[in-house]
Structure 1
Amino acid sequence: MLYILLIIVLSLVFLHLYVTYNKDARLLMKVPGRKNKFLIGNALEIFVPPEKLIDMRSGYAKQFNGIYRFYSYPFKFVCIYNPQDIEIILSGMKFSEKSFLYNFIKPWLAEGLLLSKGAKWQKRRKILTPAFHFDILRQFHVTMEENSKQLTETLENVPEKADIVPIMTNYTLNTICETAMGTKLSDETSAAGMSYKNAILTLGNIFAQRFIKVYLFVDFIYNLTSLKSLQKKYVDIVQAFTANVIENRKKNLDQQINIKNNKTEEDDIYNKKKKAAFLDLLLAAENNGQIDRAGVQEEVDTFMFEGHDTTSAGLSFLALMLANHQDAQQKVYEEMQSIFGDSTRVATTDDLAQMKYLELCIKESLRLYPPVHFIARALNESVKLSNYTIPAGTNCLIQIFDLHRREDLFKNANDFIPERFLPENSVGRHPYSYVPFSAGPRNCIGQKFAMMEMKSAMSAVIRRYRLEAITKPEDVRFAGDLILRSIDPIYMKIIKRN
């Protein structure tokens, strides 16, 4: 018995020596980080409630200087939040492959543009880029303004203490469906839309649960848990909704083709002016054999999620900032008055271009509350970051939230100061110090769409209402989710202007 115990102890010691002092580990251990525990490394460091994840990460950002590591054999991570290192990772295609962490959402998003790599990513990006050309966005603007008007009418009937988050989520889901997907939500599909939104929230929580438990990184172990079956249930709900969106648009296009075949030449000229939806490009590519239906589904799943959830979060936090900073809100209102006067007409794209101060507010809100608050890349070769050699096979987490709150990059970094984005105040700022839409070749393809949508919505709201804070920024608790979102409602008063 004593011999068996001795063998076990020696085996554990040798195992610890191997996992701690192998070649890659020795390199990684030179990077600052928390003290390793016997055998398990840093695994217990992230074993915290999901709502504590971002606070924990921000604590590390204050403790270390732009870089720190996380190691629990065989999982190697380096976390960076300084612009020089971020430029190395994002500026080219060398480190364009996503971290294995994104495999956690692969049953949902498959190999859409967010998760795909190499030739497949390049081919899909080429197919989809025309959907976000400015001329196409101009065509979508009318629909955006119609939805913004509907948003203001919704706010007419909210209670005195209103949670702005579900209101903005409804707005962005309706907008992405009617513009990029070319499908209007009916009363029937609105109910399905509610299930879709709730399913996405649940999937985000499942992701957080898996992220904080290192042993769940292993698919075999994860597949034995109740989280796996719960994930399947909600993935099915999400994909049923998007499959219905695809089918409705395909039927609509088929009807248009049948009508077109019976039209005159004059009618054909008019028909050429119709909107070219994002989904239309995918269906056309399917007809041409460039993509199959599974490919259409994964791209629609990706853009339905990213196109409404990130913008909803951005608008909710923008509303929070304007409600808590009446001086900035007043400047936005005065800007609206200078553009529209007392007119109730809808905004044009030229009007949106004149909303310079509102744009500053959006940029500053995205700095403080970037909806995509981290990016994770796989380092397929060794690389020098902050003068440390990071071994190949390490996962690099780019902490956008902490980057944007660095005091050496943004003075009074935790304060809402839109003027910091005036051209004269941006001179000398490192181009990778502000990356709310990522940067480099894999930057967000829909960033112009998102900015137009945020301007359209918030300008319509501020023209008609004054936002008065109930929830304060210090009250917000962040979910440990793919998207930066508040766990609790964001309450405010919506006061109609005289």
Structure 2
Amino acid sequence: MFYILLIIVLSLVLLHLYINYHEDARVFMKVPGMKDRFLIGNALEMICVHPDKIFEWRTSLSKRFNGIYRFYTYPFRYINIYNPEDIEIVLSSTKFIKKSRLYDIIKPWLADGLLLSSGAKWQQRRKILTSAFHFDILRQFHTVIEENSKRLTETLGTSGEIVNIAPIVTEYTLNTICETAMGTKLSDETSAAAMSYKNALHTLGNLFIQRFIKLYLLIEFIYNLSSLKIQQQRTIDVIKKFTTDIIDKRKKYLEQNVLTSNPTKQDEDDVYKGRKKFAFLDLLLTAENDGKIDKSGVQEEVDTFMFGGHDTTASGLSFLFLLLANHQDVQEKVYKEIQSIFGDSTRIATTSDLTQMKYLELCIKESLRLYPPIHFVARILNDQIKLSNYTIPADTECLIHIFDLHRREDLYKNALTFDPDRFLPENSVGRHPYAYIPFSAGPRNCIGQKYAMMEMKSATSAVIRRYKLEAITKPEEIRFSGDLVLRSIDPINIKIIKRDAKNM
């Protein structure tokens, strides 16, 4: 019995030495990090975290270390960075454009769309889709966005009512992305499907958190045996049914009304109503007709941009409204700027009007600093690299924590304070170009950032023009979800007060 026990102990020791002290591991372990436990490294620290606490746990690590720390448990090796110098090295390089294997969690959903693809496929897709977000195209979408912003103000409720703002703006951004990029107006018939779609996205987010925490579920064959796999597939089926219906509806419309490969013919059924433009989905379907993309490619890009085009903007708007409600002086300055543009007129905003909203733009930028909708991005370091003077072995996963970067006191004085003036040109001098990256940066930056800014300006100006927002939920009460998109676990409650009719 003694010899058996001795053999087991020796075997475990040898295994520990092999997985934690091979050449790459020895180099990697020089980076500061959590206390390492025999054989399992840092696994226990993460596994013991409750899903609702994972974001809080991660930010506590960022406060504990100075811009860089490691996480290691064989075979997983993650380097976490949140200082601009290291981030620039990673994001500015065309060498490190391959997304982390962490995103494999959502690959059954988004497949090889622009978010997850790499190499020649990513370059081809990026080239096809970039023109869909050209300013001239966005300007043509403007009227549709403004119409949706007006409807948003009509759904906020009665004066004096307390509302949870998050689901309201999510419905707004979903309707807007469908009408602009997808060329499909949601109807009463599709409202139930849209609700199922939104709920399914939140379910997927929760599944992502659970799989991320339970590291053993990152191993594909183990995950395939779990109940989470079945739940994930059912959820993805709901999402894909919604997006497939959108594709089929637009394709049918184009086949019936467009005789050439250029979608320029419109009638009263087209949401664009005679305004010549090339919708995101129209470009994809044209590319499919030209043999540049196949049917599955259209599906994965629609899934990617339906998610990226509404969920992230909804997050940004939710936290912006939270901040304006909690900072009445800032909200009043926004309102006065809007009044200087519109006076007593009730007309909708033009693109020129949105351009004049300089202070509102500062507010949006500062809100995105404090609450970046995509709070982290992750890449594979497919070559050895130096970060903060530490050697990082090739094939290490790199997590870039945008949320923690944006809240560094050495980059932003009184970093937790909402101060739009910090984005005035004179106050931005000398700031590291990678100190502020709400839309990521480098070759893989967000393709839809101009669209998002236009939509956030449109929605916010429409709401503040008609309503005064009063705080119910305080920023310090927010508990963040560890989802792919920054979300509040609890409702973001705001009281809405209708402004005097003569000032609308």
- Corresponding residue SS for 1:155: coil
Specify whether residues 311 and 271 from structure 1 end up closer, same or farther in structure 2 by C-alpha distance, changes over 3 A only. closer
Cα deviation, 1:224-265, whole Å, max 9, x if unaligned, reads 11110000000000000000000011111112225999x99x
Q: Does 1:337 align with 2:365?
A: no
Counterpart among 468, 471, 477 of residue 469 in structure 1: 471
How do 1:29-108 residues align onto structure 2 when only pairs under 5 Å count? 29-47=29-47, 48-108=49-109
User: Following TM superposition, where does structure 1 have runs of at least 4 consecutive aligned residues deviating by more than 3 angstroms?
Assistant: 156-159, 258-261, 270-273
How do 1:406-485 residues align onto structure 2 when only pairs under 5 Å count? 406-485=408-487
Match of 2:269 in 1: none
- Corresponding residue SS for 2:379: strand
Structure 2 Cα separation of the partners of residues 434 and 50 of structure 1: 28
- For 1:3, the aligned partner's letter is Y
Cα deviation, 1:16-42, whole Å, max 9, x if unaligned, reads 111111111111111000011111100
Counterpart among 325, 329, 345 of residue 327 in structure 1: 329
- For 2:386, the aligned partner's letter is K
Deviation at 1:157?
4.0
Structure 2 Cα separation of the partners of residues 221 and 196 of structure 1: 27
Structure 2 Cα separation of the partners of residues 94 and 45 of structure 1: 32
Deviation at 1:49?
1.5
Structure 2 Cα separation of the partners of residues 20 and 177 of structure 1: 50
Q: Does 1:165 align with 2:171?
A: no
Deviation at 1:158?
7.7
Structure 2 Cα separation of the partners of residues 307 and 272 of structure 1: 24
Structure 1 Cα separation of the partners of residues 396 and 115 of structure 2: 20
Match of 1:370 in 2: 372
- Corresponding residue SS for 1:18: helix
Match of 1:358 in 2: 360
Match of 1:220 in 2: 221
- For 1:238, the aligned partner's letter is I
Match of 2:156 in 1: 155
- Corresponding residue SS for 2:407: coil
How many residues are aligned here? 492
- Corresponding residue SS for 1:430: coil
Specify whether residues 143 and 167 from structure 1 end up closer, same or farther in structure 2 by C-alpha distance, changes over 3 A only. same
Match of 1:119 in 2: 120
Specify whether residues 391 and 277 from structure 1 end up closer, same or farther in structure 2 by C-alpha distance, changes over 3 A only. same
- Corresponding residue SS for 2:79: strand
Specify whether residues 260 and 312 from structure 1 end up closer, same or farther in structure 2 by C-alpha distance, changes over 3 A only. closer
TM-score by length of 1: 0.97
Asked if the contact 2:324–2:330 (Cα under 8 Å) also holds between the matched residues in 1, the reply is yes
- For 1:405, the aligned partner's letter is R
Match of 1:267 in 2: none
Structure 2 Cα separation of the partners of residues 159 and 36 of structure 1: 54
Match of 1:183 in 2: 184
Structure 1 Cα separation of the partners of residues 56 and 220 of structure 2: 27
Structure 2 Cα separation of the partners of residues 136 and 384 of structure 1: 41
- For 1:330, the aligned partner's letter is E
Structure 1 Cα separation of the partners of residues 453 and 13 of structure 2: 55
Asked if the contact 2:200–2:235 (Cα under 8 Å) also holds between the matched residues in 1, the reply is yes
Cα deviation, 1:450-486, whole Å, max 9, x if unaligned, reads 0000000000000000000000001111111000000
Cα deviation, 1:95-145, whole Å, max 9, x if unaligned, reads 110000000000000000000000000000000000000000000000000
Deviation at 1:390?
0.1
Structure 2 Cα separation of the partners of residues 207 and 5 of structure 1: 39
Match of 2:400 in 1: 398
Deviation at 1:57?
1.3
Deviation at 1:273?
4.8
Structure 2 Cα separation of the partners of residues 157 and 222 of structure 1: 47
Structure 1 Cα separation of the partners of residues 52 and 482 of structure 2: 6
Q: Does 1:131 align with 2:132?
A: yes
Structure 2 Cα separation of the partners of residues 321 and 173 of structure 1: 22
% identical equivalent positions: 72
- Residue ranges of structure 2 left out of the alignment (5+ in a row): 266-271
RMSD: 1.7
- Residue ranges of structure 1 left out of the alignment (5+ in a row): 265-269
Specify whether residues 271 and 174 from structure 1 end up closer, same or farther in structure 2 by C-alpha distance, changes over 3 A only. closer
Structure 2 Cα separation of the partners of residues 448 and 271 of structure 1: 23
Cα deviation, 1:63-116, whole Å, max 9, x if unaligned, reads 110000000011100000000000000002111100000000000000000000
Match of 2:280 in 1: 278
Specify whether residues 376 and 494 from structure 1 end up closer, same or farther in structure 2 by C-alpha distance, changes over 3 A only. same
TM-score by length of 2: 0.96
Structure 2 Cα separation of the partners of residues 361 and 57 of structure 1: 27
How do 1:285-304 residues align onto structure 2 when only pairs under 5 Å count? 285-304=287-306
